[in-house]
């Protein structure tokens, strides 16, 4: 059966995360409903990964299989016409029949937005930033250097689905200007992320930025491979899945979007 | 009684506009409720102007009178602690006892954000932009020049509260880069605006930008002083009240915020 890969953007605020649930509204759920309506038979959507409740995306990817007689449907338009406004299909492309959105992902990039200059976050930005208060970027960047590279990230993994290995390679952590002068954006790229790993890394960087943790301590927490030692998980609303990279093509269709 | 002037930011999406209503959630309503709780007796809030349902603010202003014994309350903190997250007090300052937020306003600035490069608006921007499709900025700017200056803006006034005069002076209409490369921001400054005047001006500029109206026609519509001739009102979510200027001080506390 023809297989298609979707590139998706969503505002995660009003979703109970990516993964299908019996009762709650999820991104996978609303897209599977739309696909099933158009296809006329049940369709399963396979995401590159699960995003938590409240986490956003500008370049999530997911594949589905299509009946031969439906292969010519303009899926992007058809889906956007049926989907709620808080999720959009940015692209739809035919991929190989054995392509897998999750297993073939080579790298993912996330961004986390911190609000850091006032006591209160602007209402217009409250769904997309974590209000941290003033931050020492130098301390955060020193900690970020210690967390970059191939490491056992067990200290930054929340309990949940067991994984074979907690070793991952974080290829880059970098700071960028935010959409307002009161925000900074922290970009994380890795060959894969453990459960809530970005939010746990941000929790650690923010603790350094607030002077509650010395940057060297971030390195020691990493080496200890013990979640109990690391600072609390950062809240979901600052996080956005930016892109998922695949061997043949880099599906970063969101470049410069936000 | 001591009088205080608030500078307010709000995400208008979930409000039925500024003005107090018996049943619906309004900005004036939630702030009056918080003021009344803190004061211990009913407080009336006087806004610089009414914003429509779905319209946002980064620099709305409003005044209230305070009992003498409550004058030392840190109003900004006290209000922000009680207000819902979609409205924040950016500043609170003591003003003269005869100061009036509405009658003493000398000028107002609004911004309208247009999404103009794709068929679909990013979910993250859907609450703050109007998805217009591709626009011819040159045509829009030619029309904007004709609409700038002192004119009778009756063609751009929606029916509602009667006003003594429909003559206003639009001192500037200018285009600025948007928060993403897919958006442009149109800034309007005038000594006052009629009901839905900015949204009607934007409806006219967008018609020019989409090639549905020649820029010269915008000038003829203005001169006709007839609402029936002008294009449809632009939707509310693109509009933000940026600042209100007063004789003694320019209360633009939002500079560079969004």
Whether the Cβ atoms of residue B15 and residue B236 lie closer than 8 Å to each other: no
For chain B positions 179-208, those within 8 Å of chain A (CB to CB) are 179-182
Contact check, Cβ <8 Å, B179/A258: yes
- Out of A87, A104, A121, pick the residue that ends a domain: A104
* Same domain assignment for residues A18 and A89: yes
Contact check, Cβ <8 Å, A10/B58: no
Of all residues in chain A, the one with the smallest CA distance to B80 is: A120
Q: Is residue B12 part of a domain?
A: yes
B68 is catalytic: no
Give the Cα separation of B59 and B251 in Å (integer).
8
Kindly state whether B86 is in contact with chain A, defined as any CB-CB distance less than 8 angstroms.
yes
Range of the domain at B16: 3-103
Mean pLDDT, residues A117-121: 81
Number of domains in chain B: 2
At B258, the pLDDT band (50, 70, 90 cuts) reads very low
* Same domain assignment for residues A155 and A201: yes
Does the pLDDT of residue B19 top 60, yes or no?
yes
- State residue B163's pLDDT score: 86
Mean pLDDT, residues B207-234: 95
Contact check, Cβ <8 Å, A258/B126: no
Domain CATH number, residue A210:
3.30.70.660
Provide the percentage of residues in chain A whose pLDDT is more than 90: 90
Contact check, Cβ <8 Å, B180/A256: yes
* Same domain assignment for residues A95 and A197: no
Mean pLDDT, residues A190-195: 96
Of A80, A87, A180, the CB nearest to B257: A180
- State residue A252's pLDDT score: 42
The b/e string for A175-212 (b: 16+ C-beta within 10 A; e otherwise) is: eeebbbebbbbbbbbbebbbbbbbbbbbbbbbbbbbee
* Same domain assignment for residues A61 and A15: yes
Give the Cα separation of A61 and A105 in Å (integer).
9
- Out of A59, A78, A104, pick the residue that ends a domain: A104
Report the 10 Å Cβ neighbour count for A258: 20
- State residue B117's pLDDT score: 86
Give the Cα separation of A183 and A248 in Å (integer).
34
Q: Is residue B59 part of a domain?
A: yes
* Same domain assignment for residues B97 and B114: no
- State residue B248's pLDDT score: 66
Q: pLDDT tens digit string along B214-224?
A: 999 999 999 99
Contact check, Cβ <8 Å, B257/A86: no
* Same domain assignment for residues B86 and B144: no
Give the Cα separation of B23 and B17 in Å (integer).
12
Distance of residue B103 Cα from the nearest chain A Cα, in angstroms: 27
Chain B hits for A77, CB-CB cut-off 8 Å, are 119
- State residue A160's pLDDT score: 73
Helix (H) or strand (E) holding B33, with range, is helix B27-39
Q: Is residue B123 part of a domain?
A: yes
Distance of residue A226 Cα from the nearest chain B Cα, in angstroms: 35
* Same domain assignment for residues B97 and B115: no
Give the Cα separation of A8 and A59 in Å (integer).
5
- State residue A249's pLDDT score: 52
Chain A hits for B56, CB-CB cut-off 8 Å, are 123-124
Structure-token match 């946002």, residue found: B56
* Same domain assignment for residues B36 and B160: no
pLDDT greater at residue A188 or residue A117? A188
Domain CATH number, residue B58:
3.30.70.580
Does the pLDDT of residue B118 top 80, yes or no?
no
Q: Is residue B54 part of a domain?
A: yes
Size of interface A-B (CB pairs under 8 A): 73
Whether the Cβ atoms of residue A29 and residue A87 lie closer than 8 Å to each other: no
Kindly write down the DSSP assignment for every residue of chain A, as one continuous string: --EEEEEEEE-GGGSS-SS--SSS--HHHHHHHHHHHHHSS----EESSPPPTT-EEEEEEEEEE--GGGTTS-HHHHHHHHS-TTEEEEEEEEE-TT--TTTT--EEEEEEEEE-SSSS--GGGTTT-EE--S--HHHHHHHHHHH-EEEE-GGG--SSS--S--EEEEEEEEEEE-SSTTEEEEEEEES---TTHHHHHHHHHHHHHTTSS-HHHHHHHHHHT-GGGSPPPPPGGGEEEEEEE-SS-B--TTTT--
- Out of A79, A104, A129, pick the residue that ends a domain: A104
Contact check, Cβ <8 Å, A88/B123: yes
Q: Is residue A253 part of a domain?
A: no
pLDDT greater at residue B254 or residue A139? A139
* Same domain assignment for residues A136 and A90: no
Q: Is residue B250 part of a domain?
A: no
At A258, the pLDDT band (50, 70, 90 cuts) reads very low
Tell me the two tokens of residue B59: 């620099």
Tell me how far the alpha carbon of residue B221 is from its chain's centroid: 23
- State residue B159's pLDDT score: 81
At B125, the pLDDT band (50, 70, 90 cuts) reads very high
- State residue A248's pLDDT score: 66
Q: Is residue B117 part of a domain?
A: yes
Q: CB-based contacts of A210: which residues, under 8 Å, 6+ apart?
A: A132, A133, A134, A135, A136
Give the Cα separation of B8 and A248 in Å (integer).
50
Tell me the two tokens of residue B52: 């429509």
Distance of residue B86 Cα from the nearest chain A Cα, in angstroms: 5
Mapped onto helix, strand or coil, the DSSP state of residue B192 is: coil
Kindly write down the DSSP assignment for every residue of B79-123, as one continuous string: HHHHS-TTEEEEEEEEE-TT--TTTT--EEEEEEEEE-SSSS--G
- Phi and psi torsions of A170, nearest 5°: -90, 110
Give the Cα separation of A190 and A150 in Å (integer).
9
Q: Is residue B16 part of a domain?
A: yes
* Same domain assignment for residues A233 and A159: yes
At A120, the pLDDT band (50, 70, 90 cuts) reads confident
> In Å, how far are A126, A203, A217, B249 from A231, measured between CA atoms?
22, 6, 11, 45
Query: Three-class SS string for B131-162?
Result: ECCCCCHHHHHHHHHHHCEEEECHHHCCCCCC
Q: pLDDT tens digit string along B139-192?
A: 999 999 999 999 999 999 998 778 899 999 999 999 999 998 999 999 999 999
Q: pLDDT tens digit string along A39-68?
A: 999 999 999 999 999 999 999 999 999 999
Catalytic residue among A52, A65, A226, A248: A52
* Same domain assignment for residues B56 and B116: no
At B127, the pLDDT band (50, 70, 90 cuts) reads very high
Does the pLDDT of residue B53 top 80, yes or no?
yes
- Provide the phi-psi class of A133: left if phi over 0, else alpha when psi is between -120 and 50, else beta: left
* Same domain assignment for residues A16 and A138: no
- State residue A138's pLDDT score: 98
């Amino acid at each position: 059966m023809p297989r298609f890969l979707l590139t998706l953007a969503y505002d995660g605020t009003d979703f109970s995360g990516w993964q299908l649930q019996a009762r709650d509204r999820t991104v996978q759920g609303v897209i599977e409903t739309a696909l099933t309506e158009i296809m006329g038979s049940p369709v399963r959507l396979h995401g590159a990964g699960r995003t938590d409740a409240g986490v956003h995306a500008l370049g999530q990817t997911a594949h589905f299989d299509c009946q031969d007689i439906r292969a010519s449907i303009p899926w992007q338009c058809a889906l956007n016409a049926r989907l709620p406004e808080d999720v959009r299909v940015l692209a739809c492309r035919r991929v190989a029949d054995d392509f897998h959105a999750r297993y073939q992902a080579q790298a993912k990039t996330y961004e986390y937005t911190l609000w850091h200059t006032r006591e209160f976050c602007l209402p217009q930005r409250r769904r997309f930033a974590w209000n941290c208060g003033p931050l020492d970027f130098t301390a955060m960047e020193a900690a970020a250097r210690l967390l970059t590279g191939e490491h056992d990230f067990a200290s930054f993994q929340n309990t949940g689905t067991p994984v074979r290995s907690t070793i991952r390679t974080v290829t880059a952590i970098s700071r960028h200007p935010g959409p307002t002068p009161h925000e900074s954006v922290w970009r994380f790229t890795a060959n894969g992320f453990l459960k809530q790993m970005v939010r746990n890394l941000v929790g650690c960087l923010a603790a350094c930025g607030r002077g509650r943790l010395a940057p060297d301590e971030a390195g020691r927490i990493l080496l200890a491979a013990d979640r109990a030692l690391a600072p609390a998980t950062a809240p979901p609303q600052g996080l956005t899945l930016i892109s998922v990279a695949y061997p043949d093509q880099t599906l970063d269709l969101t470049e410069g979007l936000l």
